[in-house]
Amino acid sequence: MIVDRKPLSFWERMYLPSIWGGLKITSKHFYNTVFKGQTGGNTLSKGYYPETKWDVAEGYRGAPYLVKDQDGATKCVSCQLCEFVCPPKAIKITPPGADSQSADRKNAEKMPREFEINMLRCIFCGFCQEVCPEEAIFLQKDYSLTGLARGEMIFNKEKLLSLGGTSGGIQKWKHKLEEAKEQEVFPVETK
């Protein structure tokens, strides 16, 4: 579809009224800022950033961290879906492998050996949180991440877990284990 451009009137083509309008608006703001002190920092919030910390609203998507369950165990099972979905490839997971100690909770067989997020690459899109089948990673409220070296900005599993805190949730592995125990011992030993 082609929309015809509206023909400009003479004054519009002279640009002068627009310039005058711009001058009026900018002058008004200039006057209000300089002589009345009406800056955004004064009128819209309580003050300026480093002194007055920002009130982070619910649902804000800050840095992604790993969370633990109610029992303090790692929720991540190393399914690597977040690594797969991560658009900037910021997540790197080292799977446990067959011979390493599987997980710090008995009910799930697997947990990552290492889990790294490169916060310099992370774009805070929230895909990892969305894709996680275990509710183990959440975008939390940290918005100011700083470091003195690139290496510092690669957060490892330990750091991510300590920053992430605890988030309960459904605990499906625990329930599975309880359910299995209720069904007594499996009738025949298959050894």
Partner 1 sequence: MDSLLQHWNSLAPLTQSVVFSTLKVLGVLFLALLPMVAYSVLAERKISAFIQDRQGPNRASLPLLGSIPILGPLLTKLGIWQPLADGVKSILKEDFTPSYVRKAYFWLAPAITLIPAFMTVGVIPFGSTLGSQKMVIADLNVGILYTFGIVSLGVYGIVLAGYASNSKYPFLGGIRSTAQMISYELAMGMSVIPVFMIIGKLNLSDIITHQAQHGWMALPFMATQQTFASYLLWPCMIVSFGIFLVSAFAETNRLPFDLPESETELVAGYNTEYSSMKFALFFMGEYASMITASCMMVVLFFGGWSLPFFGLDQPATSIIGGLAHIAIFVAKILFFMVVFIWVRWMLPRFRYDQLMDLGWRRFIPVALANILVTAVVMYFVR
Partner 2 sequence: MSNAATTEAKPAAPAPPPVEKIKIKVDGREVEVPKMLPNWQGKLEATTMLQAVQIAGGEVPHYCYHPKLPVAGNCRMCLVEFGTPMMGPDRKPVFNEDGSPKIAKSVLPYEPSTPRGAIACATPISPGMEIYPNSSATKQMREAVLESLLINHPLDCPICDQAGECKLQEYSVQHGQAGSNFVEAKVHKPKAVDLGPRIVLDDERCVLCTRCIRFTKDIAGDDALGIVNRGSYNTIAAFPGAKFDNNYTLNTVDLCPVGALTSKDFRFQMRVWFLKETKSLCTSCGTGCNTVIGSREGKVYRYEPRQNDAVNSTWMCDSGRLNYKWIGREDRLQDVLVRGQKSTWASALKEISEKLSKAASGSVAVIASARQTTEELYLLKKLATKLGALTDSVARMGEADKLLVAADKNPNSNGARLTGIAGAELGSAISKIADGIHSGAIKTLVVFGDDVTKAGISADLLAKLETLIVSDILPNATTKAAHYVLPGCAHAEKRGTFVNVKGRLQKFTKAVEPKGDARPEWEFLHELVHNVTGQNGFISIEGLFNQMAKEVPGFAGIEWAQVDDQGVNTIS
Strands 114-118 and 91-94: antiparallel
Confirm or reject binding of residue 29 to partner 1 (CB under 8 A).
yes
Candidates 2, 57, 98, 148; binder of partner 2 (CB under 8 A) is 98
Exposure class string for 24-43: b at 16+ Cβ within 10 A, else e? eeeeeeeeeeeeeeeeeeee
Terminal-to-terminal C-alpha distance of the chain: 73
Confirm or reject binding of residue 182 to partner 2 (CB under 8 A).
yes
Confirm or reject binding of residue 45 to partner 1 (CB under 8 A).
no
Binding mask 60-79 for partner 2 (x = CB under 8 A): -----------------xxx
Confirm or reject binding of residue 20 to partner 2 (CB under 8 A).
no
Distance CA 97, CA 165 (A): 26
Residue for token pair 């109610």:
70
Confirm or reject binding of residue 89 to partner 2 (CB under 8 A).
no
The stretch near partner 1 (CB under 8 A) out of 15-23, 83-91, 102-110, 171-179 is: 15-23
Binding mask 26-65 for partner 2 (x = CB under 8 A): ----------------------------------------
Q: How far is CA 122 from CA 66, 90, 115, 145, 157, in A?
A: 14, 5, 14, 11, 15
Candidates 11, 12, 17, 33; binder of partner 1 (CB under 8 A) is 33
C-beta closer to partner 1: residue 19 or 180: 19
Enter the tokens of residue 5. 């451009």
Confirm or reject binding of residue 22 to partner 2 (CB under 8 A).
no
Q: Which does 33 bind (CB under 5 to 8 A by kind): partner 1, partner 2, none?
A: partner 1
Q: Is residue 124 within 8 Å of 162, Cβ to Cβ?
A: no
Candidates 14, 56, 145, 180; binder of partner 2 (CB under 8 A) is 180
Distance CA 182, CA 7 (A): 80
Collapsing DSSP to helix, strand or coil, 42 comes out as helix
Confirm or reject binding of residue 102 to partner 2 (CB under 8 A).
yes
Candidates 12, 17, 34, 106; binder of partner 1 (CB under 8 A) is 34
